[in-house]
């Protein structure tokens, strides 16, 4: 199923606050990762884009084809992290109103102190069909997320949907790394007739 050109009608216009989550167990495991662990996972990641700058990733699920979100597959890290991550994903889907959902791309993203992710869009020739969600884990007061035209800080434990069809960016002006759990979500099974074409609406 090629979802190129489609976007969820329910996708947020910019940011959508979906409330706080208990991330204590995930944080405890996150803090067992050493620098060598991050380097090892980052070296094996399937997502390599210039706009990501120095961001390191620990990828758990990914897609074979970006236009086909149902083509997702699990990487070796999924088995290790799923017991802590899957309950958070399921709760996010519940808050979006989905009784059944899939999560095609799931990863931890670590942005070093003083680094930035430059302004970009996930749309264009690459589809932006699923909801794009962030759960803030490690952060500091000087981390800000931009979705045109608004900058905002996402506090630890907060679940936020962002509109990745719009220009967005991140800057970490603090002195500690920022780590988010980032994932995509769509209702399953997919019914494309329920969704608008990209460009028809920004929401």
**pLDDT tens across 138-159, in order?**
999 999 999 999 999 999 999 9
Distance CA 98, CA 92 (A): 9
In this predicted model, which residue has the larger pLDDT, 120 or 33?
33
Which two three-digit tokens encode residue 109?
């993203």
Angle at 134 between CA 62 and CA 98, to 5 degrees: 75
Helices (H) and strands (E) in the chain, counts: 3, 14
Residue 123: pLDDT above 80? Answer: no
**pLDDT tens across 50-81, in order?**
566 689 999 999 999 988 999 999 999 999 99
**Which domains are delineated in the chain?**
6-100+112-118+128-194 (2.60.120)
In this predicted model, which residue has the larger pLDDT, 201 or 10?
10
Distance CA 57, CA 34 (A): 13
* Full-model pTM: 0.93
| C-beta of residue 160 within 8 angstroms of C-beta of residue 18 | yes
**pLDDT tens across 10-48, in order?**
889 999 999 999 999 999 999 999 999 999 999 999 987
Give the helix/strand (H/E) hosting 28. Answer: helix 24-30
């Amino acid at each position: 199923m090629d979802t190129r050109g489609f976007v969820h009608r329910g996708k947020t216009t910019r940011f959508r606050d979906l409330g706080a989550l208990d991330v204590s167990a995930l944080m405890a495991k996150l803090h067992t990762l050493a620098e060598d662990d991050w380097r090892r996972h980052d070296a094996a990641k399937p997502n390599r884009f210039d706009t990501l700058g120095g961001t390191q990733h620990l990828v758990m699920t990914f897609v074979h084809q970006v236009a086909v979100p149902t083509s997702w597959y699990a990487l070796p890290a999924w088995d290790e992290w799923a017991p802590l991550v899957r309950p958070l994903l399921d709760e996010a889907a519940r808050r979006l109103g989905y009784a059944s959902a899939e999560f095609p791309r799931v990863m931890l993203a670590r942005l070093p102190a003083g680094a930035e992710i430059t302004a970009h869009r996930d749309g264009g020739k690459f589809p932006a069909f699923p909801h794009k969600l962030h759960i803030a884990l490690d952060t500091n007061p000087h981390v800000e997320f931009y979705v045109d035209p608004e900058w905002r800080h996402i506090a630890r434990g907060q679940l936020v949907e962002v509109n990745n069809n719009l220009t967005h960016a991140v800057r970490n002006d603090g002195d500690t790394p920022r780590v988010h759990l980032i994932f995509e979500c769509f209702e399953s099974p997919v019914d494309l007739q329920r969704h608008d074409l990209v460009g028809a609406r920004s929401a």
